[in-house]
Structure 1
Amino acid sequence: MSTISNISGIRPTLGNSQLADRYDFIVCGAGSAGCALAGRLAENPSVSVLLIEAGGTDDVPEVLTPGQWPLNLGSERDWQFVAQPNAHLNQRAIPLNMGKVLGGSSSINVMVWARGHQNDWDHFAQEADDEAWGYRSVLEIYRRIEDWQGAPDAIRRGVGGPVHVDTARSPQPVAMAMVQAAESLGIPAFDSPNGSMMEGRGGVALNDLIVKAGLRSSMFRSYILPRMDQPNLTVLVHTQVTRLVFNGTTVVGVEVMQGSHRTQIMADREVILSMGAINTPKVLMQSGIGPETELRPHGIPVIQHLPGVGRNHQDHVSFGCIFESKQPLAVGNGGSEATLYWKTDPSLDTPDVFHCQLEFPVATPETAHRGVPEHGWMVFAGLAHPKSRGSLHLTGSDAHHPVRIEANTLSHPDDVRSAMATIEIAREMARAPAFSHLLKREAMPGDLSAAEMESYIRDSAVTFWHQACTAKMGHDSMSVVNGRLQVYGVDRLRIADASIMPNVPSGNTMAPCVVIGERAAEIIKQAHGI
């Protein structure tokens, strides 16, 4: 990997490019969407692209070695966001981890490649009023993205793309048991959780992963690292975007900060925010784009009143079901090798149940007293489409002022009822014959009364770290961007990250974010004739 060097004073860049005062395009955030977008824009050698990342190098064992991903949580490679204490979680304040490193969350996550359900994308198209966001169009984007290593599927899978995707190789017995157990409950098994499985009611499968030759293959390593020697691509690290620079209502650049040093870099064509569902709305609001009621108390001049900025916060929520094994269990491929999506009611548009198996047990601080077995596994029994909605709020006008995150997890009563259903499916699977050679006992939740189970749900609820939807795409009064990802009322500014999702998709958000980055590149190339 290219080394980090200090050039132009204190401003470090990667590769051989020297930092300039202006670029054609500035992409803010080197996460899943930002890397895809910047990499595609840089394909044209006549276009200058600056990619800005607040974090640093991904060239550390904790990132590259699949089994070490938990060590990134709470480290300098994590923004370490925490939601506010929540009455619906027995006043718990739950962590909302997000990647602060080259590759963003694709460098610290569990490496699961999940495309979302067909109807997720058709809903995107409906909200955007543009069939280019629909499943059939997005399917072509996925085929362009992937270098698929699993069973051939010429209709749904692509080869030769930048992202190495493979099925979990040599899966552990506990992962195979989950597939077999789900089948015994009438849930069909598939070769992959992507493709035909997510065009119908759902099913169970071994995970698709971004693991190549035993190492994580993040979106930085897929899209940006191969282009690091190009003179038209500059990657600026350890640099936080603090606000947008305007000429009237036109964005002409960004202000960036390293330590106490601030400077401005100009964009001759466009600025694209790809900083994620917390930092993108924060920069918007601190730049004067957002709800007037949020901006004026902090003395921020209103450039564009957009009441939807920082609203509609969504995230997948799950509940730990922990099982003690009869013997120690090996951990393979980062520890998450099997997954399940299912519509408990066939009439639903998308799956309501979302399970991710983990090959080691992890309790929350509030449930640990129940006893975590030395050897065992767990199922994150989750909700694919929770109804609870949260919001983000400024605590000040400057970059060092944190955002107050009111996640409101489990605030909708239907989510608690759905939690009981998804937990019961996980418990039924563990009691299936497929697990008889592994299961010693159910450690959590166990047989509880209705009241005890509700308390367990509120104590065990954790996020999947899939924060989204805080600057949503659409045409109603709460929409922030249109179908071409342009911010309403502001020129030369687009958003391309999970914040533009109208609703959180069925499953992990990394792959849909790559689609958003690719789609943004398509739109921008067309708009500028490049």
Structure 2
Amino acid sequence: MTTATTNTSDHEFAEGVRANQDHLSTSQNTRFDFIVCGAGSAGSVVAARLAENPEVRVLLLEAGGSDEVDSVMEPAQWPLNLGSERDWGFMAEPNAHLGGRAIPMNMGKVLGGGSSINVMLWARGHRADWNHFAAESGDAAWSYESVLNIYRRIEDWHGPADPDYRGKGGPVYVAPAHDPKPTATLMLEAARSLGVPTFDSPNGAMMEGNGGAAINDLRIRDGKRLSIFRSYTWPRMAQPNLTVLTGALVSKLTFDGNRVTGVDVLHGGRLRSFSAAREVVLSLGAVNTPKVLMQSGIGPEQELKRHGIAVRQHLPGVGQNHQDHVSFGCIWEYAEPQEVGNGGSEATLYWKSDAALDAPDMLHCQVEFPVPSAENAARGTPQHGWTMFAGLAHPKSRGQLLLSGPDAGDAMIIRANTLSDPDDLRAALASVQMCRDLGNADAFRGLVTGESMPGNLGREDMEQYLRQGAVTYWHQSCTAKMGRDAMSVVDGKLAVYGIAGLRIADASIMPRITTGNTMAPCVVIGERAADVIKAQYGI
């Protein structure tokens, strides 16, 4: 098929989608089999998989708007989404462990969620992560071997042939960063000089052992971003059984006793109610999923009563166990300005500071432009340079989410508690030191003039640098965790304890944060949710 023919057929399909969705969204239908709340990396998967059966009526609700904007589609423009209408604009509370700083906790508010505004990295997680999920849930379907089968099933891999680890023909196009820039390739050379092995891909064998360094796997095709929404949901939006409603803020769940019957939604300036004959699936992310649960009467009894919310199900773990990847930028000045490729992040490194750990605790992400924190920028940021983020893959600090009020318009209180565990500060010191060793390796001679920050600081000054420089990788998770203890919110099939007709499928169900970026694990969570729902209802 020629490019002209392809463009024509794509245009015709898009027109068909718009006509179909205009008809569906303006109809008076309020009854569906399944309602999926949130069109992010997990919700897009659940809705699309359920809609594969033409007899199943699916409603997908998204508080944000269209993804058809340049800052979403053009990989290099992703920073423009931060602080825009495509960002929830969450902010953690001021944190004494960060010198009173309040960290922005950006999260996607657009069709595709985080997969429409992120840096497009496809990172599967470590073998130990998934085996931990299986142990916590008591369900072998979450084990690494099982999840590896899911990855092979869903991937359309465009890199070196690797049938043991990669799949072909699935909905998820993945490829190594195309034509990576010198900063990325030299980072691998520097890693080898420090005894860190390099791999063809950061997914596969590299994530079964101590880690290593590799050129990133990205979700970019023909120079354009591929969100999970575009890969899964968009191809089904011309179907009459899938309604996608944007600008739809889920307010509360509706009930018959302890069975969820649907949702109340703020849409177009009015409150609308939709009913689900079978189930509601919450895929609103690690902040808004706990919010809707608590404001609907599901959560810690004391927290609900504080806001006059009637307790329907006491689940003390809702909003607890908040985890996120924290990182600290180290910056080098270029000798000459360099091009930015593939959105700017083309190489990564995972490594263990202690071989006894079950997974790498260092998560280093290379970015091809200088990115200081606002507080550390005053130290002197080069006009042209690159950043290595020294991240903590498994921080021990735990945060919590609290309600500021009982209504949909009341903002959530995010107590991230970043660096509250002293072990995290020690791990950060080790991670930054390794980061500096990488950036100052002989491999970079000629490309850079030298290290801009942090430099060779004493212990006290370095700790100050870390507290002023800590930022998020935007991987909030674990606030409605899967498991079998008293703090668990969902079981191994993602069903909410004590409530019928309600499931959760997003990063909030993670018992612990995965090693690396969370988009790919959220796709697996969406696939698992769809599998168990299909099995339960014979669809």
Q: Same fold (TM over 0.5)?
A: yes
Q: Distance in 1 between matches of 2:338 and 2:321?
A: 40
Within the alignment, does 1:294 sit opposite 2:303 as a pair?
A: yes
Counterpart selection for 1:153 from 145, 162, 169 = 162
Map of 1:40-439 to 2, 5 A cutoff? 40-258=49-267, 260-439=269-448
Distance across 2 between alignment mates of 1:4 and 1:525:
28
Matched-pair contact (CA < 8 Å) for 2:48–2:236? yes
Pick closer, same or farther for the CA change 1:267–1:328 going to 2, 3 Å: same
Q: Name the aligned partner's letter for residue 516 of structure 2.
A: G
Give, in angstroms, the shift of residue 364 of structure 1: 1.1
Query: Could you tell me which amino acid in structure 2 is paired with residue 122 of structure 1?
Result: N
Give 3-state SS (helix, strand or coil) of 1:32's partner. Answer: coil
SS of the residue corresponding to residue 51 of structure 1 reads strand
Shift of 1:258: 2.1
What are the superposed Cα offsets for residues 264-305 of structure 1, whole Å, 9 maximum, x if unpaired? 100000000000000000000000000011100111000000
Q: 1:193 to 1:296 in 2, by over 3 A?
A: same
Q: Shift of residue 19 of structure 1?
A: 5.6
Three-state SS of the structure 1 residue aligned to 2:461 is: helix
Q: Which amino acid aligns with 2:436?
A: R
Quote the offset at 1:147 in angstroms.
0.5
**Displacement, 1:260?**
3.6
The SS at the match of 2:198 is coil
Task: Indicate the SS of the match to 1:23.
Answer: strand
SS in 1 for 2:387: strand
Partner of 1:21: 30
The C-alpha deviation readout for 1:180-214, integer Å capped at 9, x for no partner, is 10011000000000000001110000000000110
Quote how far apart the aligned CAs of 1:109 are: 0.2
Matched with 1:476 is 485
Letter in 2 for 1:203: G
TM-superposition CA deviations, 1:55-90 (whole Å, max 9, x none): 010000000000000000000000000000000001
Question: Which letter does structure 2 place at the counterpart of 1:131?
Answer: A
Q: Match of 1:341, as an amino acid?
A: Y
Task: Return the TM-score normalized by structure 1.
Answer: 0.98
Distance 1:427 1:133 in 2: 37
Asked if the contact 2:295–2:406 (Cα under 8 Å) also holds between the matched residues in 1, the reply is yes
Q: Is the 8 A contact 2:17 2:238 kept in 1?
A: no
Determine if contact 2:440/2:450 at 8 Å carries over to the other structure: no
For each residue in 1:433-459, what CA deviation from the matched residue of structure 2 results, as whole angstroms up to 9, or x when unmatched?
A: 211121201111011110000000000
Shift of 1:422: 0.5
Partner SS for 1:423: helix
Structure 1 gap ranges (5+): none
Match of 2:498 in 1: 489
1:145 to partner: Cα distance: 1.3
Distance in 1, matches of 2:378 and 2:495, equals: 49
Q: d(CA) in 1 for partners of 2:342 and 2:218?
A: 8
| CA pair 164-420 structure 1, distance change in 2 beyond 3 A | same
CA offsets 1:341-398 (integer angstroms, 9 cap, x no match): 0112111101000000000001111101101001110011000000000000001100
Q: CA deviation at 1:513?
A: 0.1
Q: CA deviation at 1:5?
A: 11
Match of 1:38 in 2: 47
C-alpha deviations, 1:205-248, integer Å up to 9, x for none?
00000001100000010001111101111100011000100000
Give the CA RMSD over aligned residues: 1.4
The amino acid across from 1:202 in the alignment is G
Amino acid at match of 2:76: G
Conserved? CA contact 2:21–2:237, under 8 Å:
no
Quote the Cα distance in structure 2 between the aligned partners of 1:300 and 1:14.
Answer: 36
AA aligned to 1:435 is F
- 2:461 counterpart of 1:452: yes
Distance in 1, matches of 2:15 and 2:484, equals: 44
* 1:19–1:107 distance in 2 versus 1, CA, 3 Å: farther
- Structure 1 pair 368–14 and aligned structure 2 pair: CA distance change class (3 A): farther
Aligned length in residues: 526
Residue 4 of structure 1: CA displacement? 11
Query: Counterpart of 1:528 in structure 2: which amino acid?
Result: Y
Q: Is the 8 A contact 1:16 1:228 kept in 2?
A: no
- Whether the aligned pair in 1 keeps the contact of 2:16 and 2:238 (CA below 8 Å) is no
Q: Deviations over 1:493-515 (max 9, x none)?
A: 00000000000000000000000
Q: Which amino acid aligns with 1:491?
A: A
CA deviation vs aligned residue, 1:34-63 (integer Å, no higher than 9, x gap): 001111111111111110000010000000
| Structure 1 residue matching 2:396: 3-state secondary structure | coil
Query: In the aligned structure 2, how far is the partner of 1:15 from the partner of 1:107?
Result: 25
User: Could you tell me the percent identity over the aligned residues?
Assistant: 63
SS of alignment partner, residue 399 of structure 1: coil
TM-score, structure 2 as length reference: 0.96
CA distance in 2 between partners of 1:329 and 1:344 (Å): 31
How many Å separate the matches in 2 of 1:378 and 1:371?
A: 14
SS at match of 2:424: helix
SS, match of residue 398 in structure 1? coil
